[in-house]
Amino acid sequence: MTQKVYIFKRFERFWHWSQAGLIIFLLITGLEIHGWYSLFGFERAYNNHVIAAWTLVGLWVFAIFWHFTTGEWRQYIPTTKNVMLMVRYYTQGIFRGEPHPHRQTALSKHNPLQRLAYLFMLVVAGPVIWTTGWLLLFYDQWGNWGLADLSLATVATWHLIAAYTFLLFLIVHVYLTTTGATPLSHIKAMITGWEEVH
């Protein structure tokens, strides 16, 4: 039996799609800055990258405020309960047609594995990409900040590693959206807010 449950509020959907678009654009411009291809040209790609990064910072600041004022931050508290059950489901059960072990509700939107993945992105990948990004943006100020001995190549490499982490997260995230009741049901839920729960 399937029922529809209102899971994702309007701001969550706006935040999700805006963030996704900005991150994809940052990946496109960032890879061009690293010389993978020429789409905008280096200078325009760099300028667009900086504008998109500051836009994403503004979006994240607003999203953090929203999460804390609405109490939605609780959705991201990690738990180890049923983590192995979720790992087993994603590595075996999903291919055997077994039911999803996590029942999604408005108070429990993310399964334990999702919570750990989001926590990693929030406390590891995010801070690395923002710290290295700001350092690269203000490279000419390193001497004034006492960071003259810092290696530009090292900072750029860590920025790129964090960007690849975001790319990997994006690929896995998009793949997992196809594992709902139908291949597009999770995507539809992030558009309408309503999730089909079995």
Tokens of 33: 């800055």
Dihedral class, residue 150 (left if φ above 0, else alpha if ψ from -120 to 50, else beta): beta
The pLDDT of residue 1: 63
Mean pLDDT of the chain: 92
Whether the CB-CB separation of 122 and 76 falls below 8 Å is answered with: yes
* Mean pLDDT across 75-104: 89
* Residue 150 pLDDT greater than 80, yes or no: yes
What is the CATH classification number for the domain harbouring 120? 1.20.950.20
Name which of 53-67, 92-106, 154-168 the model is least confident about: 92-106
Question: Measured between alpha carbons, how far is 56 from 65 in angstroms, rounded to an integer?
Answer: 14
In sequence order, the 6+-apart residues with CB closer than 8 A to the CB of 8 are 16, 109, 189, 190, 193, 195
Range of the domain at 158: 3-197
- What average pLDDT does range 151-162 have in this prediction? 96
pLDDT at 103 over 90: no
CA-CA distance, 53 to 46, in Å (whole number)?
Answer: 10
Q: Between the CA of residue 123 and those of 64, 86, 98, 99, what are the distances in Å?
A: 13, 22, 32, 31
Measured CA to CA, the distance from residue 76 to residue 110 in angstroms comes to 8
Mean pLDDT of 95-110: 86
Tell me which of 143 and 100 has the higher pLDDT. Answer: 143
pLDDT of the residue at 181: 77
Q: Which is nearest to 173 in space by CA: 107, 105, 125?
A: 125
Taking residues 52-67, report their average pLDDT. 95
| CA angle (148, 153, 157) in 5-degree steps | 125
What average pLDDT score do residues 83-96 get? 90
Q: Which candidate, 67, 85, 65, places its Cα nearest to that of 75?
A: 67
Q: Is the pLDDT of residue 198 over 70?
A: no
CA distance 52 to 64: 18
Query: What total number of domains does the chain contain?
Result: 1
Q: Which residues share a beta bridge with 5?
A: 195
